[in-house]
Amino acid sequence: MFASYTVGLTQTNATNKNQPLVGVMGLEKEFNAQLAGTNGYQTAQVDNYGYRLPKAKVKTKPAKNGGTVKSTLDSSLQSYLETLLASVQTKYKQASVTGVVMNAKTGEILAAGQRPTFDPSTMEGLEQGSSWQNMLVEDTYEPGSVMKVFNLAGAIQSGTFQPNTYYNSSGVKVASTTIHDWNHVGFGEIPFSQALPRSSNVGFVHIVQQMGEANQAKTLKDFGFGQKTGITLPNEATGGYNLSNAVTRAVMGYGQSINVTQMQILQAATAIANKGTMVQPRVVTKVTDPDGKVINYKRKVVGHPISATTAETVLDEMRDTINKPYGTGVTYKIAGADVAAKTGTANIANPKGGYLPGETNQLHSLLAMAPASDPQFIVYLTLKQNTAMTTPAVNVLNTIYHPLMTRLLALDAGNTATPAAETVTVPAAVNDSLTAATAALNKKALTASVVGTGNRIVQQLPAAGTQALRSARVVLLTNGAMTMPDVSGWSKSDVLKLAQLTGKKFKLQGAGYASAQSLKAGSLLGTGTVTVTFQKTD
């Protein structure tokens, strides 16, 4: 079960015997024309025993291979996310849980998963009556308080946001409806600067009212809501909203009465992360058709809904959600990490009208960006109908978020170079002999660390073509038995490269550089967890 809904599925093609398989889901469906090969054949006259007759004409049509599609998914991050999602599904049995990791700068989807899911090799999980929908692009839903991020941005951009003005958070009347805060009593008299960290519904009713209908409409349009993102996955939904009613406009301030897709949320979030520049989500980098024609999918800017100053202010408010004692995201704080985030809780619409009753019928979500000073990653998680309620939804989501974000931050720290630092381009080592790969890395003043007993390289981190500091460690995985290297003196980011390449479980404790490991160097890496202890040097 590896990004099953994103990669997709093929089935027997009953309508064209020359093309035995047809894509029916995900990338397999979206790029079916480029991926489909054509059967070949050979015909000749033969006798009753199958021997070709003398001078019989032979007609041959060679088979034609299909093309290739290269995705943006990072296989190690994807596998790690799948493990985290599977653990939550098994333990808490919610209606659904999803997770996406996006490169904030390029829009590349690095990992994307959902539960329930299916095994494409056996079809298990796609029994009759189960959903064939990719929740990330085909499902629309009311997102809840995550929308406050974009409404705040719109208010700041329009010049109507009054951070130092106080308001009564106990309730606000709109037409004949009185709206209360999520805790039912409010927080007393508080400034609008605390509306986002506290996730005050009443505060955001005031904020969108102060924006006015025209600015509210402009904000939603500029951020791309109610429009397809254009991601290369089939059946992308549009979502939508209607601003004709005063109460609807008010509750839209905190993410109700508006339908969105997860890709729309992620796309809008890139504007916050990129100083106002919004980029399209991408799940493909390159497509090569059967004739060899190549189409490259590059970073695509799709708008500038806000200014850099507005984006910076919103990120500061999202920081407070994590760091202030009154913030709704204090559960998601990671010691020493600079993270900006927004939590969300939304009621789930009832198909018969209104909303499903009770706290179990809610959608809980988390939108996080890191490092907040210059976001490289955007993580978006959702948890629908936490029916067991044995553990609060925020704690359930944190069992995914905390290890995932910790790994992302460590990997980023290991790959980040300051402008003044001397960097080199990492050479390609995959498919080279161990001797040749090591020599090429040494020539670039890079440190080669080998995993396994083989003599040929099958994977490497950092990847070929990326920039790395001189003397940085490149971890090489060979084609032999997977064995544990001596990690003495390694940084946390280096050990996390090892975890990514091997797919094995590692527990990192302490700070500084690796000083001890629970598995002896040269031992086979099995299914158990390897503990690596770090210690600061003087």
End-to-end Cα, the chain, rounded Å? 46
Both structure tokens of 144: 């809840």
**131 secondary structure, DSSP code:** -
- The torsion angles phi and psi of 173, rounded to 5 degrees, stand at -100, 130
Task: Determine the 3-state secondary structure of 53 from DSSP.
Answer: coil
Task: Determine the 3-state secondary structure of 411 from DSSP.
Answer: helix
CB 499 within 8 A of CB 514: no
135 vs 117: CA distance, rounded Å: 10
Both structure tokens of 517: 């490991």
- Of 76, 145, 169, 257, the catalytic one is 145
370 vs 342: CA distance, rounded Å: 12
499 vs 479: CA distance, rounded Å: 17
By C-alpha distance, which of 139, 140, 142, 85 is closest to 111?
85
Burial class (CB in 10 A: 0-12, 13-18, 19+), 359: exposed
Q: Is 145 assigned a catalytic role? A: yes
Beta bridge partners of residue 340, listed in sequence order: 369
157 vs 322: CA distance, rounded Å: 23
CB atoms within 10 A of CB 23: 22
CB atoms within 10 A of CB 433: 14
- Catalytic residue numbers read 145
